[in-house]
Structure formats: structure tokens, C-alpha cells
Amino acid sequence: MAIKVLNKETNKEYFLLGTGYGMSQSARSSFLGGDLFPNIEEDSVQKITVCDEFGRIIWFDSSDIRVISIDGEALEIENNDSNDILDLCPACGYKIRKADTVCPDCELSLR
């Protein structure tokens, strides 16, 4: 199954290889409690692995990538709900719904 994705910043297309989840944690002794009450810092990052037309493997943040087709077929979700697609985002052209207050793609405030 081939999944084509688009980098939102560069508009360059890639093939999705997989996803990953990175986590890190560091602890250092606190001033008053020492090792008994350490200062702990945590971080997590969702990454996506893609390859370009030359087969080079590249990692992107998941928020920078959008799926555009699966097995050569463009994404179209059929839904007869009252929140159906109403318009296109004026900034990026992404399909938006009546209930959206923020564009799900470029995060432009719509109201």
C-alpha cells in the first residue's frame, strides 16, 4: 500500500514509510531536596518517516505532514452530517466544516 504525503511547508510530496514516537526525560537534583525531590523534565515528539523520489529517508514532525492519497486515490470522506464541508480555508485552501473555528491544516482562526 503506497501512501503519498505532502509537506505543508514546502508542498513537496513524499511516500510514507512509518511513524515513530520519541520521548526523553532528564532528572537533576533540586536545590533543597537533592535527589529526594529531583527536577524532572519530560518531552515527547511524534515523528513520521518518509522517503523522497531518490529513496532518501527523512524524518518530519507529524504536524508538518498531510496525507494526500492512498494507493493512488485521493482522500475523500463521504459524510451526510450537517457539519459537512462548507467552504475552503482562505489561507491554505483546506476543506473546512461549519463547526470549525480553526483551520485543521494551517490553524488560521476562522471566527
User: Rounded distance, CA 66 to CA 43, Å?
Assistant: 23
Domain shared by 65 and 95, yes or no:
no
Domain interval for residue 67 = 3-71
- Residue range 58-69: average pLDDT? 89
Domain shared by 67 and 105, yes or no:
no
Residue 60 in any domain: the answer is yes
Name, of 34-38, 57-61, 76-80, 82-86, the range with top average pLDDT: 57-61
pLDDT class of 47 with cuts at 50, 70, 90: confident
pLDDT class of 110 with cuts at 50, 70, 90: confident
Residue 25 in any domain: the answer is yes
- Residue range 55-82: average pLDDT? 80
Instruction: For residue 22, give the CATH number of its domain.
Output: 2.40.10
- Residue range 78-101: average pLDDT? 73
Domain shared by 40 and 10, yes or no:
yes
Residue 21 in any domain: the answer is yes
Compute the radius of gyration of the chain from its Cα atoms: 20
Q: Specify whether the CB–CB gap between 44 and 23 falls below 8 A.
A: yes
Residue 76 in any domain: the answer is no
